Structure 1
């Protein structure tokens, strides 16, 4: 089994939309199709690095990186950071590393950026696991109040998350100020609200040609759009004992669902290739 010692940590120097970046990335090579992970606001690449310890991902190349304004990455202009900038940065990272086709996994903010990336690059995304990335205006129940009517929106957002009685919320809130720069947070949150309201995210998600999974914690089992996702062929994965942060509350179940999804996707692809041979 591959271990954490097989991973490479590096700093990628890129220029995206005229902005100089130093992107802190971690990756591993392997013989199978790679998985690219996009973290949420207040998350980092380390949300996913345990993947190299999971036997179900043996031989699987992985790539995770800290978004601009987050974690150990550096950004020369934090005011430029929003969801669209994250999408452009992700594409720049993929192109810089020569990652042509890949499975995509995105959580929350990373789920929104991943959706827009998959919409832009449909021929390169083999599958997409959306871990509670926004799809509707109602998904902005914490971000919308934080950016409207609060002088210190960052403190308001952190406090709202901390007070919400859900799995791992206090853990997340405690680390939030240390993992994302305030100068980037407002642009990210505001663009998430704008995209949730006007970006046709649900339509884009349902229209993706690749296999899709929507993964969510049991605390969100009453989301009103889940039956509609299921009717459109989106695979649903409910993670027990978890809320918005399954990688913190129940990573064992999260990794199992993702690994089994990738295996099913590749099994179907292999059968299709053989049938056309």
Structure 2
């Protein structure tokens, strides 16, 4: 089973997105699409991509327009609505309809919007450290700084948003890597951040959602505490929604506790695929 990462760009919805893919050429399992948070990029998913590629899933991760290696974009073109249209076009371009969509923070916003507005494209949504509500924290000053200076002078506050106190104290290798990534961001990150904090709520549009939605929150998420990143999303979705909280994790649970997140993803995927990951492992070894 191939786990080699293949990198490329694709033109969809009037923009050019950078992406990475892995997995079998002949589809054996349902595709998985990963969508990253603000400040980070698609490389955060490589560990989980390898896991699911080895199990027979075609896996894809992409950078949002205006972030990572995707093309720059004007502020007016960086709304969550537009990013959702990008994700829909990406899924359609590669023929990934019916995929499992996994998003963190901003990527989770996109996933929830897909569940509400384009349920025909997805089978499950996992929103990690995300929200279906409007922004409740005053981030205007931070966005103004980012627009004028990039992340210079605010790297520590950003890391305190993105990681739990436990991770900052106990996982220097992880936080050192992402400190370098955050430190490299220029002024365009301010436009992307503006799109995040000005998003409208999606709560009402999630009611009676036909898609299975899993909301994962960290027990020390400073951006979206447990009710916002978990219970409120599941409640909005109704009988197709559920939520879990992960210990020793903040806003970036997929990076902070990847094995725990992966176990929850296994269960989420099994709701549709009809086979748990351990059963797939056994079958794959025969």
What TM-score comes out, normalization by structure 1 length? 0.78
1:38 alignment counterpart: 35
TM-superposed CA distance for 1:40, in Å, is 0.7
CA distance in structure 2 between the aligned counterparts of 1:156 and 1:118, rounded to whole angstroms: 37
Task: Using the TM superposition, name which of 206-215 and 124-133 deviates more.
Answer: 206-215
Cα pair 2:33 2:100 within 8 Å, conserved: yes
Instruction: Tell me the distance in 2 between the aligned counterparts of 1:168 and 1:3.
Output: 32
Give 1:261's aligned residue.
268
Seen in structure 2, the aligned counterparts of structure 1 residues 193 and 55 have a Cα distance that, compared at 3 Å, is closer
In 2, Cα distance between equivalents of 1:52 and 1:110:
15
Q: CA RMSD, aligned part only?
A: 3.0
The match for 1:102 is 99
Partner of 2:6: 8
The one-character-per-residue Cα deviations of 1:125-172 (angstroms, maximum 9, x if unpaired) are 1011011223234x5537444125885474465342235563446544
Per the alignment, do residues 84 and 119 of structure 1 end up closer, same or farther by CA in structure 2, a change over 3 Å counting? same
Separation in structure 2 between the aligned mates of residue 128 and residue 255 of structure 1, nearest angstrom: 14
Asked whether the 8 Å contact 2:18–2:63 carries over to 1, the reply is yes
- State the shift of 1:224 in Å: 3.5
Q: Could you say which residue in structure 2 is the equivalent of 1:146? A: 142
Residue 23, structure 1, aligned to residue 18, structure 2: yes
Structure 1 residue 16 displacement after superposition: 2.9
Report the CA distance between 1:243 and its aligned residue: 0.8
Counterpart of 2:212 in structure 1 is: 211
Corresponding residue for residue 192 of structure 2: 188
Task: Work out whether residues 33 and 102 of structure 1, in 8 Å CA contact, stay in contact via their aligned partners in 2.
Answer: yes
Change (3 A) 1:130 1:57: farther
Change (3 A) 1:246 1:149: closer
Question: What's the secondary structure of 1:48's corresponding residue?
Answer: helix
Asked if structure 2 preserves the Cα contact closer than 8 Å seen for 1:35 and 1:61, the reply is yes
* Unaligned stretches of 5+ residues in structure 1: 269-277
**1:117-266 equivalent positions in 2, closer than 5 A:** 117-137=114-134, 140-141=136-137, 143-147=139-143, 152=149, 154-155=151-152, 158-163=155-160, 166-168=165-167, 170-171=175-176, 172-178=178-184, 180-183=185-188, 185-195=189-199, 199-220=200-221, 223-225=226-228, 226-231=230-235, 232-233=238-239, 234-266=241-273
Whole-angstrom distance in 2 between the partners of 1:84 and 1:61: 26
Distance in 2 (CA, whole Å) between partners of 1:159 and 1:86 is: 27
In the superposition, relative to structure 1, how do residues 119 and 4 fare at CA in structure 2: closer, same or farther (>3 Å)? same
Deviations 1:103-144 (A, max 9, x none): 11111111112222232211221011011223234x553744
Q: What does residue 271 of structure 1 align with?
A: none
For structure 2, the 5+ residue unaligned runs are 169-174, 276-286
Alpha-carbon distance in structure 1 between the residues aligned to 2:219 and 2:149: 31
